[in-house]
Amino acid sequence: MSFQTTETIQRLWENFLRDQLAGLPADQRQNFEEQFEQRFGELLKGAANGDGRDGFLDLIGFGDKGPQEFGDIAYPYIQPDFDDSVIPSQLHAAADLYYIYQHERMKVFQVADVLLRLFRLGRMRIQRGPGAHGLYLLQKWQPLRYTLNDRMIAYRRAFNYGTVQTPAGAVVNRNFHRQLVGFMVSTGQYFRDLLIGEVIRGGQLIDQRPFGSVATVQRIGLDLRYALDRSTYGNIFSLAMETGHYLKTVLQLLDAPDIKKAFDANTKWDVVEIVSNRHLGGVAEPSQRAKMAESGRRILKFVADNDFKTAIDPILFQSVVRPMGAHAEAWLAAYRMTPEGRGFPGVTPALRSVLGVPQAVNA
């Protein structure tokens, strides 16, 4: 279809859309707006590819009819696909790696190493129980082939966490933490504004669009997803897979009754705390790290699986993202209690920073 014909269709479509929406009751318009927008995109795509010809050949005169006027050349519709050009498996691996990282900060892996050393040296009074058998298997087979340095390089590449030197030429996701905090903040702010909007409006408008900005959540989510995708190539997937299985095994081992009895502990987390205090110089915020691991992984998996479509119905977006609001608030509450989060400037300054908005200067 020619460019001139396509332009005519676009103008007629806008008139058609206005007339059709004007004839619908107000409560039904919202149900048809997204369908009309989707149909319009299909028409534009079909108009560009309807005759199967390459418009560029017609433009330079290599087509069947030789050089043609601009109005007779096919419409150059370009399919937007940048936001979809990610590898889901890498993003899921990054979410699991974040969960692993928080347990690394909780010293779970170090605790396992201490137990192996105590078991080997005969300084822990266990011998034939499930914990002793599990430690024997870990010591014999050494299932975790990725060393501490390997994991630290992975954390640095994916999240820019730690101070280890990254390999030359590796891509480092330097803005991850800033974007993660920004996404948590924008999601939490979205539902705070929604609550305020419901209280102020009330009545029949209580189910209408909230004051919170959908675009802010979507923009930061897309940036976060893109940056993770471009920095988690290579061994990140295999490392997250292997280390995740090892972490699961270690947590089950710490919950073994003979190991808990050896340290007079009631739970595996008591074992982590006692061993950390006795042998590792102190405990490392297990309560906060556990919540950050849980909510952070859930948020990152949501970011990985959501396409953040621009024209999404705000009410539908609200329903989809609602479970993430509680995770975002929980993550922020835990983050504020960690050493790196105690300088958290607050929701509004953090959101202004990630969006690049200058801070207000006091006179």
Nearest to 330 by CA among 360, 283, 298: 298
Model confidence at 268: pLDDT above 50:
yes
Are 230 and 174 spatial neighbours (Cβ–Cβ below 8 Å)? no
What tens digit of pLDDT does each residue of 289-331 get?
A: 999 999 999 999 999 988 887 767 777 788 888 889 889 999 9
The 10 Å Cβ neighbour count of residue 358 is: 7
What tens digit of pLDDT does each residue of 73-89 get?
A: 666 666 776 767 788 88
Burial zone of 244 (CB within 10 Å; 0-12 exposed, 13-18 middle, 19+ buried): middle
What tens digit of pLDDT does each residue of 133-180 get?
A: 999 999 888 888 999 999 999 999 999 999 999 889 999 999 999 999
- C-alpha 303/C-alpha 250 separation (Å) is 28
Exposure string of 257-286, with b = 16+ CB inside 10 Å and e = fewer, is ebbbebbebeebbebbbbbbeeeeeebbbb
Contacts from 56-64 at CB under 8 Å and sequence distance 24+? none
Q: Residue 2: helix, strand or coil by DSSP?
A: strand
For residue 196, which amino acid is it? I
Q: Which pLDDT score, from 0 to 100, does residue 244 have?
A: 96
Are 263 and 252 spatial neighbours (Cβ–Cβ below 8 Å)? no
- Average pLDDT over the chain reads 82
The larger pLDDT score, comparing residue 321 to residue 195, is at: 321
Residue at token pair 């997204």: 34
What tens digit of pLDDT does each residue of 171-182 get?
A: 999 999 999 999
pLDDT band at 362 (very low <50, low <70, confident <90, very high): very low
Q: What is the phi/psi pair of residue 142, to 5°? A: 45, 65
- Return the half-sphere exposure (C-beta side, CA atoms, 13 A cut-off) of residue 169: 2
Q: Where are the alpha helices (DSSP H) in 307-346?
A: 314-335
What tens digit of pLDDT does each residue of 7-23 get?
A: 666 666 667 666 766 67
Are 238 and 226 spatial neighbours (Cβ–Cβ below 8 Å)? no
Q: Residue 126: helix, strand or coil by DSSP?
A: coil
The larger pLDDT score, comparing residue 302 to residue 359, is at: 302
DSSP secondary structure string, 92-148? HHHHHHHHHHHHHHTTHHHHHHHHHHHHHHT-S--SSSHHHHHHHHHHHH----S-H
